[in-house]
Amino acid sequence: MSSTFDPTSYRSDLNRLSFSDEQKAHMAARLAETASDRTAEAKEARENGTGKILELHGAGAAHSASKCVRRPKARRGRAQRIAAALGIAAMLTIGGGTAYATGTLARAADSLAAVFGAGPAQTELIDRIGRPIGASCTSNGITITADAIIGMRHAYAVVYTIEKDDGTAFDELTMNENGLYNLFLNDCGDINELTALRLGIKGGQGYSYTFDANPSDNAIQLVEMKSLTGSDATLVGETLHFNASELLYSPKGEQADGRALPAETLATGNWNMSFKIDYEDLSVDLPAGQSFTVNGHNAVVDELAISPLGATITYTVDAVDGPSEPTGLETNSESRAGCGNFSVTFTDGTTEEIGSGYGSWREGGKTVVQKTRLFDQIRDVDDIASITVGDLTVPIQ
């Protein structure tokens, strides 16, 4: 399987993304901490003289590997400071006796905290679910490192770091009002076609964005979130293949017709690596079989599950989907039989709309719909009060 980017919609996709106040505060604190550390380091040196929407298609051509290694990339001093701040032990044994060194583990936890929140409860959940990766590949003076992975039953998120080996910054990049950058890759991580066939996966969707977790260094972080549809099989233990040949950016400004300027190539190379999908799935199954109405059609719930990372639902609609939209955004209520709201309400009274888009496939004269969405930030399942889809609300006991 491979991913196809739509550069025209990239900017609008990017602008819709935002960080919570807690995540922004975490990044600001990290920046202040790093600035303080750099000041101290500089003083010592003087004295001693010494941070879109994707549609999955068929298999694409594989790129030849350049220089790929599996190694932790974190700087030890910084990693130890981060580990202390997040309350992470110097050595931790995770799943099957695999031991991860402080640098790799701390970088993974820090990367995931920047995306999913850094509160005490969130940090504890990240420690339980997420896993460090530490796989890297280098081509044409640019190294891309897979820092960490976290996931649930039908979805996962991977945080990568992109950096120039000579220590210089990506000067062409700009930041939007949400603190996100206009950097993206022409391709990212996927399971291969044979694995998808074996698991019964029919398709998938997702998005990616880039941000700067540490503005004082030259690295940029890329977050890729994906959900795969059509299979009940777990993704844990499968292999994710990362392949990219272009590093691109979306320039500021518009064309005469008001459309975004076309993407420009920042660098080319062969960035290729493979690593295991490894996280703890804390999904909890809820009762299924309820009848409800969505978009004017009768439907029945086949599967409903919640996780600290998000929610997933599969239901069968007594209607047939119309043709898919070219962008892969399935939000046309007139032609999409299963299109409808999908939201979660938390015990504090807040509600998060988690999207009307979905993956689907036909079974006879009916449409099977599967929606999997990740929350804005990681939440304890005990904080979830109810799930709503169409005119059905399911309370969480």
In angstroms, rounded to a whole number, what is the distance separating the alpha carbons of residues 123 and 127? 6
In angstroms, rounded to a whole number, what is the distance separating the alpha carbons of residues 137 and 143? 6
Six token digits for residue 56 = 């999955």
Whole-prediction pTM value? Answer: 0.72
Return the amino acid letter for 206.
G
Q: Which residue has the tokens 């969405």?
A: 373
Counting Cα atoms < 13 Å in the Cβ hemisphere of 189 gives 30
In angstroms, rounded to a whole number, what is the distance separating the alpha carbons of residues 317 and 363? 10
| Nearest of 329, 321, 331 to residue 362 by alpha carbon | 321
Return the amino acid letter for 100.
Y
Note the pLDDT of residue 221.
Answer: 93
| Nearest of 177, 140, 385 to residue 266 by alpha carbon | 140
- The strand pair at 92-94 and 310-317 is best described as unpaired
pLDDT in tens, the chain (397 residues): 433 334 344 334 434 444 445 544 544 444 344 334 433 433 333 333 333 333 332 233 333 333 444 333 333 233 332 232 333 222 222 333 334 444 555 667 788 888 888 888 888 999 899 999 989 999 999 999 999 999 998 899 999 999 999 999 988 888 888 788 889 899 888 898 899 999 998 888 888 899 988 888 899 999 999 988 888 888 899 999 999 999 998 888 788 888 888 889 999 999 999 999 999 999 999 999 999 998 889 999 999 999 999 999 999 999 887 665 554 444 456 667 788 888 999 999 999 987 666 788 888 889 998 988 888 889 999 999 999 998 999 999 7
Note the pLDDT of residue 292.
Answer: 95
Six token digits for residue 62 = 């594989």
As a dihedral over the C-alpha atoms of residue 236, residue 237, residue 238, residue 242, rounded to 10 degrees, the angle is: 90
Cβ-Cβ contacts under 8 Å for 140 (sequence gap 6 or more) = 66, 267, 268, 269
Cα dihedral 6, 10, 16, 22 sign: positive
In angstroms, rounded to a whole number, what is the distance separating the alpha carbons of residues 375 and 231? 21
The answer to whether the CB of 163 falls within 8 A of the CB of 220 is yes
In angstroms, rounded to a whole number, what is the distance separating the alpha carbons of residues 19 and 24? 6
Residue 292: CB atoms within 10 Å:
18
Encode burial over 195-219: b for 16+ CB neighbours within 10 A, e otherwise.
bbeebebbbbbbbbbbbbbbbebbb
What's the 3-state SS for the chain? CEEEECHHHHHHHHHHCCCCHHHHHHHHHHHHHHHHHHHHHHHHHHHHCCCCCEEEECCCCCCCCCEEEECCCCCHHHHHHHHHHHCCCCCEEECCCEEECHHHHHHHHHHHHHHHCCCHHHHHHHHHHCEEEEEEEEECCEEEEEEEEEECCCEEEEEEEEEECCCCCCCCCCECCCCEECEEECCCEECCHHHHHHHCCCEEEEEEEEECCCCCCCCEEEEEEEEEECCCCCCCCCEEEEEEEEEEECCCCECCCCCECCCEEEEEEEEEEEEECCCCCCCEECCCCCEEEECCEEEEEEEEEECCCEEEEEEEECCCCCCCCCCCCCCCCCCCCCCCCEEEEECCCCEEECCCCCEEEEECCEEEEEEEEECCCCCCHHHEEEEEECCEEEECC
